[in-house]
Amino acid sequence: MQINSVVKGGRWMEGLVVTSLISVQLILAFYTVFISRILAGGLQPLFLAAAGGFLNAFLLLPLAILFERKNWPEKIGLYLTIRFALIAVGGTPLYQVLLLSGVKKTTPAVATAMPNLVPGFIFIIASILRIEKFDIKSKHTIYKVMGTLMCLSGAMAMSFMQENSVNLPAESPNLRSIFMGDKLVTDTTSNDWIVGCLYLLAAFVIMSCVIVLQATTMADFPAPISLGAITSILGSFFAVIFQYILQGNISTGAASLGITSIITAVLAGGSVAFLNGSIVTICVHKKGPVFVSAFNPTQTVCAVILSAVMLKQFISLGSLIGMGLLFAGLYIVLFAKMKEADMEEVTKLIPDEERALLF
- Concatenating the DSSP letter of every residue in 291-350 gives HHHTTHHHHHHHHHHHIIIII-----HHHHHHHHHHHHHHHHHHHHHHHHHHHHHHHT--
Q: How far apart are CA 281 and CA 82, in angstroms?
A: 24
Specify whether the CB–CB gap between 316 and 162 falls below 8 A. Answer: yes
- pLDDT band for 189, please (50, 70, 90 cuts): low
**Coil, helix or strand for 139?**
helix
Q: Which range, 4-18, 173-187, 201-215, 267-281, is most confident? A: 201-215
Q: Comparing 77-91, 140-154, 219-233, 313-327, which segment has the lowest mean pLDDT?
A: 313-327
List of residues 6+ apart from 22 with CB closer than 8 A: 295, 298
What region, left, alpha or beta, does residue 313 occupy, with left being phi > 0 and alpha being psi -120 to 50 degrees?
beta
Query: Is the pLDDT at 170 greater than 50, yes or no?
Result: no
Assign 131 to helix, strand or coil. coil
Write down the pLDDT at residue 238: 93
**Contact 167/311 with Cβ under 8 angstroms?**
yes
Alpha helices in 90-223 (DSSP H): 95-105, 108-113, 118-128, 139-160, 175-180, 190-217
Of 315 and 236, the one with more pLDDT: 236
Task: Report the alpha-carbon distance of residue 242 to residue 236 in Å, rounded.
Answer: 10
Q: What are phi and psi of 167, to 5 degrees?
A: -75, 135
Of all residues in the chain, what percent carry a pLDDT higher than 90? 11
pTM: predicted TM-score of the whole model, two decimal places: 0.79
24-to-104, 281, 295 alpha-carbon distances in Å:
22, 12, 10
pLDDT score at 11: 65
The 8-class DSSP code of residue 129 comes to: T
Which of these ranges, 174-183, 193-202, 338-347, has the smallest mean pLDDT? 174-183
Measured CA to CA, the distance from residue 125 to residue 216 in angstroms comes to: 13
Instruction: Give the pLDDT band of residue 356 (cuts 50, 70, 90).
Output: low
Measured distance CA(139)–CA(159) in Å, rounded = 30
Q: Please give the DSSP secondary-structure letter assigned to residue 69.
A: G
- How much is the pLDDT for 83? 92
**H or E element at residue 57:** helix 45-68
**4, 288 contact by CB (below 8 A):** yes
